[in-house]
Amino acid sequence: MSTVLIIFYILSAITLSTAFLTIYSRRPIHSAIYLVLCFFSIAGHYLLFNAQFLALVHIIVYSGAIMILFLFTIMLMNLNNEDEVHKPRITRLGAIIVFILISIIMISVFINSRTFMGEYDDTGVDYQSIKVLGKVLLNEYMVPFEFASILLLVAMMGTVLLSKKEKSGK
């Protein structure tokens, strides 16, 4: 086995286990930590694909910004064990069974699939270049890019308004 294949299997095991632990964990803070570990392992997959820029942006955006927003939301909600609704064990068992069934289906599809053996169409454009990526993003995808920024701005304003304490009238 090659070293890259061993690293791929290790990263895949980390990704799948931390993704499962994110869902299965009882404490929201532990789930957030598992999700950060999952994001870092996915960034490792990007590095295996030789997509360094995408890996760094993934770490900065998801592991940095999005997880900070998740943690602030968890802290603002002030989740306590007393307030938490306890779900019956049958619900947890059902989630485990669905997870196992979906995993079996995905593994069987992966095993029964055939790899494509053919010519690779090379357009000659290096999309790993930050300059080319910026041109594509800000020329062809300018409108969706701006819509995403407006959506994030509105979500941030909504979070600030929801977290604001109401003043009591005296």
Domain stop point among 58, 83, 108: 83
Residue 85: the pLDDT is 58
120 occurs within a structural domain = no
Task: Tell me the CATH number at 53.
Answer: 1.20.120.1200
Q: What is the pLDDT of residues 34-89, one digit of tens each?
A: 988 999 999 999 999 888 888 888 888 888 777 777 777 777 776 555 555 566 78
Into how many domains does the chain fold?
A: 2
98 occurs within a structural domain = no
159 occurs within a structural domain = yes
24 occurs within a structural domain = yes
Q: At what angle do helices 28-48 and 3-24 cross, to 10 degrees?
A: 160
Residue 141: the pLDDT is 85
Q: How confident is the model at residue 113 (pLDDT cuts 50, 70, 90)?
A: confident
State whether 16 and 77 are in the same domain.
Answer: yes
State whether 3 and 76 are in the same domain.
Answer: yes
Please say if the pLDDT value at position 170 is more than 60.
Answer: no
- The percent of residues above 90 in pLDDT, for the chain, comes to 19
State whether 77 and 131 are in the same domain.
Answer: no
State whether 73 and 135 are in the same domain.
Answer: no
Average pLDDT, the chain: 80
Angle CA 82–70–22, to nearest 5: 75
Within 13 Å and on the Cβ side, how many CA atoms surround 41? 19
pTM above 0.85, yes or no: no
Residue 156: the pLDDT is 78
State whether 1 and 79 are in the same domain.
Answer: yes
Residue 42: the pLDDT is 94
Domain stop point among 83, 111, 140: 83
CA 17/CA 37 separation, integer angstroms: 10
State whether 1 and 70 are in the same domain.
Answer: yes
Residue 57: the pLDDT is 86
State whether 79 and 5 are in the same domain.
Answer: yes
Residue 137: the pLDDT is 78
Angle CA 142–148–151, to nearest 5: 140
Please say if the pLDDT value at position 13 is more than 90.
Answer: yes
135 occurs within a structural domain = yes
Q: Indicate left, alpha or beta for 153 from its phi (over 0: left) and psi (-120 to 50: alpha).
A: alpha
116 occurs within a structural domain = no
State whether 55 and 132 are in the same domain.
Answer: no
Residue 3's domain comprises 1-83
State whether 78 and 132 are in the same domain.
Answer: no
Task: Count CB-CB contacts under 10 A for residue 59.
Answer: 17
Least confident among 7-16, 28-37, 75-84: 75-84
Residue 167: the pLDDT is 58
